[in-house]
Amino acid sequence: MTGSENAVLEALDADRDGALGRLFELLRIPSISTDPAHAADCRKAAEWCVAALREIGFDAQLHETAGQPMVVGHMPPLGTEGAGGGGAPLRVLFYGHYDVQPPDPLELWKTPPFEPRMGEDPRHGPIILARGASDDKGQLMTFLEACRAWARTAGGPPVAVTVLLEGEEESGSPSLGPFLDAHGELLKADIALVCDTGQWDARTPAITTMLRGLAFCEIAVRGPARDLHSGMYGGPAVNPIHGLARILAALHDEAGRVRIPGFYDGVESPTEAQRAQWAALDFDEAEFLTDVGLSAPAGERGYSVLEQLWARPTAEVNGICGGYQGPGTKTVIPSEARAKLSFRLVPGQDPERVLAGFRAFAQAHAPDGCTIAFEGEGGSPAVGFDTESASMRAATAALEAEWGRSPVMMGCGGSIPIVEAFKTVLGMETLLIGFALDDDRIHSPNEKYNLSSFTRGARSWVRILARLAEAQAQRA
């Protein structure tokens, strides 16, 4: 196997300019899914992906949806002479998206967003500059180039590969759920590979092993039937802004812990090994905060910033409004005040139970004379992966071989809905491996992707596919 893997890596390195040329072709298509004016561009990008997959050797097709089309391609594993060895070959489903964020504000771009070019970053060296260079065209092309090198060198990848590329990730993936429901058989695999994540730093790879979940809702506190004149009614009339402030102020104790009864029920602590690995990382808490204008860490006392982000749940008010908000003064007692809340969840927490707890808590803290209503509730649980699984160990070994250091087993403070969908709809675990960096400026002007992210990312996938095939062979 190693011999074949080395040949594939050599082929990949030799065709670096070809790979960059292909990536640039895709980056030139302004496939902005949130802008209806770019619908034709999204289709063009989808068609480009179908053609690229077919050129590699995939059986690829474009599938219509209510929105942008889906691209699905299949490629069988190389024959019995390959890594598949004895039993059934491993099947992987790779997910990426061909749509990009709008480039606004355009005037802040130093070079046109859809005219990709190489640049030089003082810290990172050569970089690829374009909208989508990192998110997600650059990332998805690392996987496609790995498949191309396998196909050209060994006749096919060492595992059965299905590729799923959607065109609505930047607009909330409205067609993805229905597509998974309708075409589950087309996508069935043993494990999913999702590349929408990052490295720890430019020299250190990472595997994301935990994603926080989310529960959200809106609360309306109502007092008088209409806005009242604060001169004519101020005093005896209850003010719903005061009531809402009381509820929100009660959410956290002085140590930053959430005071909703039962909120922490079932919350699992990170393992000692994880805590030790995280503590050993060169994470600069002060820099992390200073970068966004914060002077002091808030949040739960007794936890590091990384622990708070990766392994602790939160309660946040994301928006609040009530009464007069225009210029100057208007002395009203408003009839209503509203707030939007969300709770970041960790494994062990149930979104519905968290929201029920909040509702009861809010009712208990509401002042007399106010009524409370809850709206727009929803959420999804956190996802935690077994860091000791065979596929996790295979990916770890592959990344160590490529980067010369162990990948960081990271948490991720946010959610990636596709991971939850793969688990619940298709019954698959996911390996979350990507090569983006925090300073890639995704969703912002002057997005970039390190050339090394691109080249070593593709090399990493060559190795990961090989190691996954080996692990499957050993299991068989």
Instruction: State which of positions 234-263 bind its own copies (CB under 8 A).
Output: 234-239, 241-242, 244-246, 248-252
Task: For the beta carbon of residue 37, count every other beta carbon within 10 angstroms.
Answer: 8
Provide DSSP, 102-144.
---SGGG-SS-TTS-EEEEETTTEEEEESTTTTTTHHHHHHHH
Footprint of its own copies on residues 96-135 (CB under 8 A)? Answer: none
Choice from 108, 321, 364, 476 touching its own copies (CB under 8 A)? 321
For CA atoms 291, 297, 298, 302, the dihedral sign is positive
Q: Which pair of tokens denotes residue 59? A: 């059986």
Choice from 116, 334, 351, 357 touching its own copies (CB under 8 A)? 334
Smaller CB separation from its own copies, 89 or 313: 313
User: What whole-number distance in Å separates Cα of residue 204 and Cα of residue 212?
Assistant: 22
Type of residue at 327: P
In the bound complex, what is the minimum distance in angstroms from residue 267's beta carbon to its own copies?
13
The DSSP call for residue 170 is G
Q: Is 333 in the site for its own copies (CB under 8 A)?
A: yes
In the bound complex, what is the minimum distance in angstroms from residue 222's beta carbon to its own copies?
9
In the bound complex, what is the minimum distance in angstroms from residue 263's beta carbon to its own copies?
14
Choice from 16, 44, 340, 441 touching its own copies (CB under 8 A)? 340
* Piece in contact with its own copies (CB under 8 A), picked from 90-98, 153-161, 339-347, 380-388: 339-347
Smaller CB separation from its own copies, 283 or 400: 283
Q: Binding string to its own copies for residues 206 to 225, with x set by CB under 8 A, is what?
A: ------x-x-x------xxx
Q: Binding string to its own copies for residues 270 to 289, with x set by CB under 8 A, is what?
A: ---------------x--xx
* Piece in contact with its own copies (CB under 8 A), picked from 1-9, 79-87, 184-192, 368-376: 368-376
Choice from 294, 360, 373, 476 touching its own copies (CB under 8 A)? 294
Smaller CB separation from its own copies, 66 or 249: 249
172-178 LR contacts (CB < 8 Å, sep 24+):
173/417, 173/418, 174/66, 174/67, 175/65, 175/66, 175/67, 175/68, 175/70, 176/418, 176/421, 177/421, 177/425, 178/65, 178/66
In the bound complex, what is the minimum distance in angstroms from residue 250's beta carbon to its own copies?
7
Type of residue at 391: S
Footprint of its own copies on residues 375-394 (CB under 8 A)? Answer: 376, 378
Choice from 101, 153, 335, 450 touching its own copies (CB under 8 A)? 335
In the bound complex, what is the minimum distance in angstroms from residue 251's beta carbon to its own copies?
7
Q: Is 328 in the site for its own copies (CB under 8 A)?
A: yes
- Are the C-beta atoms of 326 and 362 separated by less than 8 Å? no
Q: Is 265 in the site for its own copies (CB under 8 A)?
A: no
Q: Is 409 helix (H, G, I), strand (E, B) or coil?
A: strand
Q: Which pair of tokens denotes residue 404? A: 């010369």
Task: For the beta carbon of residue 472, count every other beta carbon within 10 angstroms.
Answer: 26
In the bound complex, what is the minimum distance in angstroms from residue 7's beta carbon to its own copies?
40
Smaller CB separation from its own copies, 122 or 376: 376
Q: Is 73 in the site for its own copies (CB under 8 A)?
A: no
* Piece in contact with its own copies (CB under 8 A), picked from 3-11, 293-301, 447-455, 465-473: 293-301
In the bound complex, what is the minimum distance in angstroms from residue 296's beta carbon to its own copies?
4
Q: Is 138 in the site for its own copies (CB under 8 A)?
A: no
In the bound complex, what is the minimum distance in angstroms from residue 149's beta carbon to its own copies?
33
The residue assigned the tokens 């002395």 is 331
Q: Binding string to its own copies for residues 33 to 72, with x set by CB under 8 A, is what?
A: ----------------------------------------
Footprint of its own copies on residues 299-318 (CB under 8 A)? Answer: 299-300, 303, 305, 308-309, 312, 314, 316-318
**Burial letters 415-428, b for 16+ CB under 10 A, else e:** bbebbbbbbeebeb
- Are the C-beta atoms of 130 and 447 separated by less than 8 Å? yes
Strand ranges, E, within 138-186: 160-166
- Are the C-beta atoms of 378 and 248 separated by less than 8 Å? no
Q: Is 329 in the site for its own copies (CB under 8 A)?
A: yes
Q: Binding string to its own copies for residues 391 to 430, with x set by CB under 8 A, is what?
A: ---------------------xxxx---------------
Beta bridge partners of 219: 339, 374
- CA-based nearest residue to 157, from 72, 89, 74, 76: 76
User: What whole-number distance in Å separates Cα of residue 298 and Cα of residue 467?
Assistant: 42
| Number of residues in the chain | 476
